[in-house]
């Protein structure tokens, strides 16, 4: 049986966490398979080259997924449940870009177990590609679990 991670119960305003990943062809292909989003802007170079982007771009939800990974694994971490996520897409992501997803605590309500965080992804040139805000519920674990 895997170890059950500890669920945090307190957070500091301004606290941050990050995760970095380089986007590869396989990421785009896998996301298209999972979601069914085969928009040619993501998978067809000839089509994408004729658009304003002049080449393929990654699915926007890929950067959102990196934000989700930071929220679920680092800050606030295991036990956190999404209530909402607002995202503004600012700049395209391409194969070979290195994205860093970053979250920052802006509000913490211990009484309600609700946390608000600014969220963003930026690329290797430190250009923001997506920014927004997430609100999560910190779900306390039950202590008496029958195995």
CA-to-CA distance for 117 and 106, rounded, in angstroms? 5
State residue 146's pLDDT score. 58
Whether 147 shows a pLDDT value over 60: the answer reads no
Q: How confident is the model at residue 88 (pLDDT cuts 50, 70, 90)?
A: very high
Whether 141 shows a pLDDT value over 70: the answer reads no
Q: Find the helix or strand (DSSP H, E) in which 137 lies.
A: strand 128-138
- Could you tell me which residues come within 8 angstroms of residue 136 by beta carbon, excluding any fewer than 6 positions away? 71, 76, 80, 81, 82, 83, 114, 115, 117
In order, the DSSP letters of 19-51 are: EEEE--HHHHHHHHHHH----HHHH-HHHHHTS
CA-to-CA distance for 40 and 81, rounded, in angstroms? 33
CA-to-CA distance for 76 and 16, rounded, in angstroms? 10
Q: Which position has the token pair 């305003």? A: 13
**N-terminal to C-terminal alpha carbon distance within the chain:** 11
Region 17-25: what's the mean pLDDT? 97
- Please report, for the chain, the start and end positions of each structural domain, with discontinuous segments joined by +: 16-24+58-138
Picking from 63, 50, 49, the residue whose alpha carbon sits closest to that of residue 92 is: 63
State yes or no: cis peptide before 13, omega within 30 of 0: no
State residue 30's pLDDT score. 97
Q: Which position has the token pair 């679920």? A: 72
Please give the CATH number for the structural domain made up of 16-24+58-138: 3.10.129.10
pTM over 0.75? The answer is yes
State residue 7's pLDDT score. 73
State residue 26's pLDDT score. 97
Residues listed for the chain: 147
53 or 143, which is more confident: 53
């Amino acid at each position: 049986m895997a170890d059950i991670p500890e669920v945090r119960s307190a957070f500091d305003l301004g606290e941050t966490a990050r995760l970095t990943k380089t986007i590869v062809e396989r990421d785009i292909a896998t996301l298209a398979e999972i979601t069914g989003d085969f928009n040619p802007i993501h998978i067809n170079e000839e089509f994408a080259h004729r658009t304003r982007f002049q080449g393929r771009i990654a699915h926007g939800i890929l950067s959102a997924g990196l934000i989700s990974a930071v929220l679920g694994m680092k800050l606030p971490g295991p036990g956190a449940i999404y209530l909402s996520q607002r995202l503004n897409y600012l700049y395209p992501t391409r194969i070979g870009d290195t994205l860093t997803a970053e979250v920052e605590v802006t509000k913490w309500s211990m009484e309600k177990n609700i946390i608000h965080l600014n969220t963003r992804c930026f690329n290797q040139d430190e250009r923001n590609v997506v920014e927004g805000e997430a609100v999560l519920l910190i779900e306390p674990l039950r202590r008496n679990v029958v195995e």
